[in-house]
A = this chain, B = another copy of it.
């Protein structure tokens, strides 16, 4: 956890800086740290903090191939106090490995006023996350508080890659647009390209062109390449623009590439393969 307020200034990252990291590494890979104690190799359980030990090995193996990490908070919360400690150590370890790595709290929170402020203080100040994922359903006052933290980012759910996206996100509005288009259209003015990005599921790459008409310059965080079946080529083709970047997330495809003692090596291989494919389009 952050103990030095100067770091707050230090670790600000603009859209351009993030884009330069992507160009430098030839990679827009975000590694999802959905670390489940039941899925990590047996030998990790001999460590004091098996989840952190696993994450550390993954970070060591992949940090030159990735520009971002995204711990999924559910996996840490479910371990109670222990999980909270693993998360603290993981965020600190990413930051100390390379300060320019972008760290996203996959929280999918969405609440207002004082509650939003509590969440923002938790993830932006106590922890050193650069960004948090939020749900848009409660509207602007559930997002504004987070955007008011200088240098910190909101990643708003736009179009998700799960079947349930059809229930509401892909319903037509009176305006003739889908709900997810309305969400992006209305919310894009709440922040700037330097503090607002959107989750857009890769399995809906046909929608990427529409989204790029609405927000040509905002970063998109794209889950669902790999395990969830999206095409990396399509995402790169329709999602990348001159002014706006992409972060493409892979979780299980990398961290669970092997369940044996070679998990870190195999994670590096998997990340490397994705990076090589990305590099062709960057």
Contacts and interface: CB of A to CB of B under 8 A. Distances in A.
A206 interface: no
Contact of A142 (B36, B118, B119, B164): B164
A258 to B, nearest CB: 19
Interface stretch (A16-24, A89-97, A171-179): A171-179
Interface in A109-145: 109-116, 118-119, 121-122, 126, 135-143
Interface in A208-249: none
7 contacts: A77-B119, A77-B122, A113-B162, A137-B160, A140-B167, A142-B162, A171-B175
A183 to B, nearest CB: 6
A80 B126 contact: yes
Contacts of A179: 168, 173, 179
A183 B137 CA distance: 11
A166 B137 contact: no
Contact of A75 (B110, B118, B135, B167): B118
Contacts of A183: 168
A171 B186 CA distance: 11
Contact of A118 (B78, B84, B175): B78
A112 B167 CA distance: 14
A176 B173 CA distance: 9
A137 B157 contact: yes
A162 B122 contact: no
A77 B118 contact: yes
A141 B115 contact: no
